[in-house]
Structure 1
């Protein structure tokens, strides 16, 4: 019997897996956060750099405001961030100075738990990332073993990689991450004991497994039977499908097996009802249980990448190419030396497969990201690379450039480039995102109804007695502040007209 703790991934991984990373908004976080805080989760996987980028790009929302809203509305729940340790928002290698700034700002804005996963299993790099995170104030850092299937990713391979994390004081625990939902009950029964035997001081006590093949709801139960005490899950409509096991059903199943789970199911139901209502309003899909699909083990593309790829192909009016792209990704992965199919390499593989399909010739055009991967920017690839592909990539101008680890960029350089008076939060966004997207977000933020109301309230706050009225001809908004001797120093606001 295990005392099981739950990590909710609805707002991060559920959003990326079911809603193409674009469904969740700041307003939605504000609405659901108080309900999530009542559940009793061990942690909330709130954000990744991808979701910070989509907040800016698709919603013109300040991602830092979203984090602060979650922090203020979930005071009883630890908030977490997922990082690969080598990139932040950009799909290229991020300079260490920029990464450290990002980590410092995440902590400043309320995120205190960090999952560190290196898809290439560069464990020295993962340990450096963990040490950086602890240095800037993260309270809990979890190092990851990222599961996949390939000729090179054997149980012994994973055990060797886990052992490399054991001597890092900055890593509090290790977790088994299954981004593509490939783990089976039999494999988890063999792999978990082997991983634990390779770790002398650092516990392995957490599992993250997607429901893409329909097996993870059973796989995580078997993990609990083995003593894994922290399990990732999601709430409908952001559960099941290519996301994670449904939280309510998981709780019932764990308890049926004799495990203890101390959570509030009523609060779960309320939070789920809110998310389902928002999904219906915004015409967003709802995850449903998947049937087992043996063919999925060929391409292993994670659900979130599949949904994003489908959306992006639709945006260029080539949605009909989706099946061809997924099939081509099988050959691309093998040619690249079997990199694990998760962010960012899943995107690299799918992008290259898309280029191959659209051009009609394999590797006629090679993406910059694939060249960087082959050049060694993310460390050595786990298997042998197709020599013809390597020759083509290294013959390009980009391929002949030295490995870029970003070590020569400093915050002082960024300040000189982007300005000395902007906030650290704005500086970071400008360092890793297109200027026009950041400009549009800040313009929208400045002109939003919320900002206008805040300025009106600030205008009357320091005056003992005053009133302000704003009208556009159809709507009139009035704010009146009365002095303390005029009925309790109140501030009254009224809205009149056709709209408010």
Structure 2
């Protein structure tokens, strides 16, 4: 019974409401006045409610609750405002509550019991974010869409029900209260059903279907119900799934991303794909955020969960990317050993979410995604599985530019139906190096050409790009950019770049040129802009929040500055970046910035690859050499010369790094190593290098050191 009482001792009632439809003693539906209550019982209950309030000197609005036993006609007090009471009496209970608190009497407010009458029938339903089929388990999440049922005679009480609202799991599951007021019970029931049917709630589960079942139940509509009503009718909990046709159509439209470069690749094949790149008027971009960037900055620790969350955005808003690098390198090793994730499942999930952008991975030739040479059948089977799971482009390189080591990987990708991107690794200084000259890179390209995998028309499923990618490459103007990978080249004169570009264009005129560099020295953006002006077709970048230092140059900076349309818009890059800014904070324990606060141009002297720089620092710390890292870097350059001046990419870069730390630990100079080589116990990786386990370096092994390290025996 709803009552109102003032300070003068006056108490009135606003009639009763029936709350019998309950689940676990929680009200589900309320009705005013009580539908099947006999008049004499009604009058007794109302009278007792008023007496109770007067006896305790109650003031203001309140509710007096009774249990009514129909078999005996007796009622029992339970405990001491409501929408349905307001509807049938026309009294604004909350307003009256405030006025009474101000000292007004009921009579002064025009409220006398004799003048208050119940008009019609009002019914209230509580719409909650609960799932009746799961035992009314509360649901939480974001309200993607909310449209209530309204109209004459319908009242909606709600505070948090709107599109975009977050339904918390830590509070009441009530979404809103719906009140229907008409002349009688049958009309109120029909009006409530209509209102509930018009509700559209997307994002969380609700009990609306259950309420509709309840309002359509014959027993509820014709018989006086009691608190055991729902227990006797469990079928009311079952609900027919909403068809949601409009929402399904909208989701389908949103879920289908625009066409991307993968459509050309899949429909027309690799050759047409290559030609489309060459015909494209602007420079194109490969996003390395999901592989090389987090490998270089966060020790490859980004989880599949965080990649999958942003993948749909990339599919819709970055569809102009030529490719996304998301596998290869250290991702397999780290996923299995440290993240305890399946890398194949990662690829599968990303492919489902990004069907329009080609995926790209790094394949270390015969090393596949490991650190040693594998049997040929392992490489073939790996490539087959990768293509089947969704990989498109395989960037294949050898850490020593040893072409025979690349052939197995190239042929494996070709037979698996993937796209081959043959990469030449750059090192040193093209202007001053006597070993890695322009002729050397042209000869390497010629060796790749002679394999037949580039020009043989029978290999129609193969698209081989010569990908010249550099860790710290610098270039100036010219027709085409010069080659690169792990290198650290000095500024290249216009005439040199132009000559290199024309030479490569003459040798392989129908293949795109792809540039990859790490930004350790801080000049990466300038490098890529110069390469773009010189005619490069594709540039590797990573999103701003995951760029710089030892990762790739900034996507936002390149998109904002490049003169040739890169296929993505600055606003889309900014939104993409906002996600990664927040996500990167989750991996603070693996941050390269814990040991490296900025880029460092000394890489032009020591030639430490960007992908190795922070790892080498962490390793030095673990070996107790933290305060000697400057010396480690100096020794890296010396170790490189001792080993014959290598192309430095994983795993060859690890050999150089291991020897450098070995020299610092044992206080060895370059000459000490040469003089004492036969008595030193070299790191395992150095011995394996001289055994030929990772391939043959350009110019061969340094004979004197090789003989000492192997103690005169022949390489394995």
TM-score by length of 1: 0.73
Name the count of aligned residue pairs.
394
1:186 paired to 2:492 = yes
Give the superposition deviation at 1:380. Answer: 2.6
Give the superposition deviation at 1:368. Answer: 2.7
Matches within 5 A, 1:364-375: 364-375=680-691
Cα contact 1:42–1:77 (8 A) shared by 2: yes
Cα 1:286–1:292, aligned 2, differ >3 Å: closer, same or farther? closer
SS for the counterpart of 2:330 is helix
Match of 2:339 among 49, 55, 59: 59
Cα 1:286–1:260, aligned 2, differ >3 Å: closer, same or farther? farther
Match of 2:604 among 283, 297, 308: 297
Cα contact 1:301–1:342 (8 A) shared by 2: no
SS for the counterpart of 1:248 is helix
CA distance in 2, matches of 1:376, 1:270: 48
Match of 1:227?
A: 535
Match of 1:332 among 635, 639, 642: 639
CA distance in 1, matches of 2:580, 2:381: 32
1:153 paired to 2:461 = no
Cα 1:29–1:51, aligned 2, differ >3 Å: closer, same or farther? same
Matches within 5 A, 1:373-392: 373-383=689-699, 385-392=701-708
Match of 1:34?
A: 312
* CA-to-aligned-CA distance 1:11-56 (integer Å, 9 cap, x gap): 211112212233x111111112122222121100112141110112
Cα 1:203–1:371, aligned 2, differ >3 Å: closer, same or farther? same
Match of 1:45?
A: 325
Match of 2:412 among 132, 137, 162: 132
Cα 1:194–1:366, aligned 2, differ >3 Å: closer, same or farther? farther
1:314 paired to 2:584 = no
CA distance in 2, matches of 1:358, 1:88: 32
Cα 1:89–1:132, aligned 2, differ >3 Å: closer, same or farther? closer
SS for the counterpart of 1:231 is strand
CA distance in 2, matches of 1:346, 1:191: 29
1:174 paired to 2:466 = yes
Cα 1:90–1:168, aligned 2, differ >3 Å: closer, same or farther? closer
CA RMSD of aligned residues (A): 2.5
CA distance in 2, matches of 1:64, 1:105: 9
SS for the counterpart of 1:260 is coil
Give the superposition deviation at 1:109. Answer: 1.8
CA distance in 2, matches of 1:229, 1:282: 33
1:218 paired to 2:526 = yes
Give the superposition deviation at 1:121. Answer: 1.7
CA distance in 2, matches of 1:375, 1:286: 33
Match of 1:264?
A: 569
* CA-to-aligned-CA distance 1:297-318 (integer Å, 9 cap, x gap): 2211112211112223334554
CA distance in 2, matches of 1:216, 1:195: 24
Cα 1:318–1:191, aligned 2, differ >3 Å: closer, same or farther? farther
Give the superposition deviation at 1:375. Answer: 2.3
CA distance in 1, matches of 2:377, 2:546: 35
Match of 1:420?
A: none
Cα contact 1:209–1:216 (8 A) shared by 2: yes
Match of 2:62?
A: none
Match of 1:73?
A: 353
CA distance in 2, matches of 1:231, 1:192: 18
CA distance in 2, matches of 1:343, 1:195: 28
Cα contact 2:296–2:551 (8 A) shared by 1: yes
Give the superposition deviation at 1:144. Answer: 1.0
Match of 1:163 among 434, 446, 449: 446
Structure 2 residue runs without a partner (length 5+)? 1-279, 455-461, 474-487
CA distance in 2, matches of 1:194, 1:120: 25
Match of 1:355?
A: 662
Give the superposition deviation at 1:6. Answer: 0.7
Cα contact 2:298–2:587 (8 A) shared by 1: no
Cα 1:401–1:249, aligned 2, differ >3 Å: closer, same or farther? closer
Indicate the structure whose relative CO is greater, using CA pairs within 8 Å and at least 6 residues apart: 1
Match of 2:650?
A: 343
TM-score by length of 2: 0.52
CA distance in 2, matches of 1:400, 1:107: 39
1:19 paired to 2:294 = no
CA distance in 1, matches of 2:599, 2:687: 36
1:144 paired to 2:451 = no
SS for the counterpart of 1:382 is coil
SS for the counterpart of 2:697 is coil
CA distance in 1, matches of 2:371, 2:659: 14
Cα contact 2:293–2:542 (8 A) shared by 1: yes
Q: Which has the larger radius of gyration?
A: 2
